[in-house]
Amino acid sequence: MPSRVRDTWTGRVMVQGRSCTRRGFPTKTEARDWEASKRHELLNNLTLPKPVASVSLIEACVKYLKYSERYSKKTIQKKKYICKRILESWGKDTDLLDITPEKVQAFLDARARTKSNHASNEDRKNMLTMFNYVMRILGINHNPVAITQSRSHDVASQYTPPEVDVLRLIAAASPDEKAFLTCYLSTGARRSEIFRLTWDDINFEAGTIRLGTRKTRDGSMKYRILPMNTTLADALSRRYKSRDKKVLHIFTSKAGKPYTTRRRFMPGLCDRAGVRPFGFHALRRYVASILSDKHKVSSKAIQQVLGHQSQATTERYLQKIHTGMAEVMNLLDDPLQNTLQNNLQEGNK
């Protein structure tokens, strides 16, 4: 699927583990046409030796799900869901060699009719990943998903709250909630990264915070260290002094356990603040928009802040360019400092 990088489009094709990329297309249509042509060329030149032994679909699914245990709970659920449905559709004893592109396409067509093109594309992505794993681990040179194509679908624009609504959110928050929000608004971190934070991740002397994510190709933990701005350092310092020394995580439930979802937090806080409802990920987009639109920070620096592996992912959040990381993180102080200080003073009266 073509991706946009600034003012041009990039085409990417992968067939049986072989990847080809071409940049600089002026339009998405030209990039998509190149992808179709390149995919056809690669498939025509492909030599598929016969596998040494047959493998049943249930065996492939079991091995793949075992491998997938390293990923997040949400990702595992998606992989289990696609495995369950293809087993129901094709039968657990079906040989992988009997699963043809035509059979896969029929499965995807049915999904598009009963659900949506987007759901069909999600199924295709998950099946493609599974068959690529099976090819690599079990020596099966057969991926019937590779020759199928994803469907076009309209992506709904994601809501990014305006600064005034974020400030209202802070004003309506309790002291504990303010500290929680400050971590988001001062780092642009993912929800799981905030939930995962422990006091070992905070270095008050160096003025840094360490954020860890498993959004990597192999599901392994990857860390990035960011400078803390003044507001975040103060908020965490106050929390550290009043902490329960038996609890390692920074943000926990009343039972002392780290959060995993906290689904009611944002809807409830938005309702109290009287603003349009939005979720945790909208705060991440807000941070990106503040740095890009208001402060004109480079997309490369914002990529470091957000922890994206690819700059193309960051480009989907924004556009623009330039500055040092400490300066970048301090820019997030501007919309927070006065509001938090005023609320703190009112709370001490």
Do 181 and 302 lie in one domain? The reply is yes
Do 258 and 207 lie in one domain? The reply is yes
Q: What is the DSSP string of 258-309?
A: BPS--TTHHHHHHHHHTS----HHHHHHHHHHIIIIIT---HHHHHHHHT-S
- From 155, 184, 210, give the residue that closes a domain: 155
Do 312 and 232 lie in one domain? The reply is yes
Comparison of pLDDT for 35 and 216, the residue scoring more: 35
What would the 3-class secondary structure string for 302-342 be? Answer: HHHHHCCCCHHHHHCCCCCCCCCHHHHHHHCCHHHHHHHHH
Is residue 60 in some structural domain? Answer: no
User: Rounded CA gap, 211 and 49, in Å?
Assistant: 44
Do 135 and 182 lie in one domain? The reply is no
Is residue 53 in some structural domain? Answer: no
- From 123, 155, 187, give the residue that closes a domain: 155
Contact 284, 306 (CB under 8 A): yes
User: Rounded CA gap, 142 and 48, in Å?
Assistant: 7
Give pLDDT tens digits for 187-222.
999 999 999 999 999 999 999 999 999 877 667 788
Q: How confident is the model at residue 322 (pLDDT cuts 50, 70, 90)?
A: very low
Q: What is the pLDDT of residue 323?
A: 40
Q: Give the Å distances, CA to CA, from 96 to 20, 36, 78, 99, 107.
A: 26, 25, 21, 5, 15
Q: What is the pLDDT of residue 326?
A: 62
**Tokens at residue 177, please?**
């909630």
**Tokens at residue 99, please?**
């699963």
Is residue 54 in some structural domain? Answer: no
Give pLDDT tens digits for 114-170.
999 999 999 999 999 999 998 888 877 778 999 898 888 666 677 889 999 999 999
Do 145 and 168 lie in one domain? The reply is no
Count the domains in the chain. Answer: 3
- From 134, 155, 176, give the residue that closes a domain: 155
Structural domain boundaries enclosing 15? 1-41
Q: How confident is the model at residue 100 (pLDDT cuts 50, 70, 90)?
A: very high
Is residue 332 in some structural domain? Answer: yes
Q: Give the Å distances, CA to CA, from 284 to 159, 208, 217, 281, 321.
A: 11, 19, 22, 5, 18
What is the value of pTM for the model shown? 0.62
Is residue 55 in some structural domain? Answer: no
